[in-house]
Amino acid sequence: MLRAKKTEIVDSLRDVFSEYGLMRWRVLVEVRWLQCLADEPAVAELAPLSSVMKDVLNHIVDDFSLDDAERIKNIESTTNHDVKAVEYFLKERTQGNAEIDRCREFIHFACTSEDTNNLAYALMLKQGRAEILLPRMDRLVTALEQLALRNADRPMLARTHGQPASPTTLGKEMANFAYRLRRAHDKVANVEILGKMNGAVGNYNAHLIAYPEINWPAAARPRAGCKRPVAARAVHPQARVRAQPSGGGPGRRSAPMPGTSKRARAS
């Protein structure tokens, strides 16, 4: 736990890596999923949303406030379920709108909580990386490079195994650190952030029972800057654990997930 006087160090992280930030991303995921369903012609119960209704939903996301987060927490005290509280919050915020009345029950349609959560965490990581981590790494690399140039001819004693060794320059050592940090920066920047929206066990079961004619792997592909793995289960392997290609969509037997024994797969 950081001491109070040190909290300014992480102030920039508050809106992203906080419970408030997580709620904001959960709301966005639920709204985008509803909008996605409304755009699907095969969902006959839903007509495309009007521009007015899209604005209403977008404002709920764009104007999400601490009061909204507190309201979700209040609902959660009754539901004892954090994601269900977000669903009820959205239904509450859209009450009294005739257009949304016909599609309110499609909020969180066919989803398991992890569908909402894995995308919310993925978007949290994406924002934190793009807006906070990488820019600060860039600034640090630039500072190290400037130190390297200013001290290119400044001699210093180098060491090997803790013992005095051949001379080096302060500039060369700073250039070494700049190079290492730049490589780390590029690796972080190139990490794929994955996401899934395929139901409780990853097979689109509820989706297919309700609307078997829809190509759900295509329709449910994350549209918020996250890549979808070839196969995923209820809890998405966000830590870059990849699933093996299954060679087919719903209805075809999937290849075993990495790390599972024959006995576990048989059960």
Instruction: Encode pLDDT of 134-149 as tens digits.
Output: 999 999 999 999 999 9
Return the domain boundaries, the chain. Answer: 14-109, 129-189
Number of other CB atoms surrounding residue 66 within 10 Å: 9
Q: How far apart are CA 229 and CA 216, in angstroms?
A: 14
Query: Hey, CA dihedral for 103, 107, 110, 115, is it positive or negative?
Result: positive
Classify residue 74 as exposed, middle or buried by CB count within 10 Å of its CB (0-12, 13-18, 19+): exposed
Q: How far apart are CA 89 and CA 98, in angstroms?
A: 17
pLDDT-derived band at 12, boundaries 50, 70, 90: confident
Structure tokens at 265: 């797969």
Instruction: Encode pLDDT of 41-85 as tens digits.
Output: 999 898 889 999 999 999 999 999 999 999 999 999 999 999 999
pLDDT-derived band at 231, boundaries 50, 70, 90: very low
User: What's the whole-number mean pLDDT along residues 244-265?
Assistant: 37
| Three-state secondary structure call for residue 208 | helix
| Three-state secondary structure call for residue 242 | coil
14-109, CATH topology level: Fumarase C; Chain B, domain 1 (1.10.275)
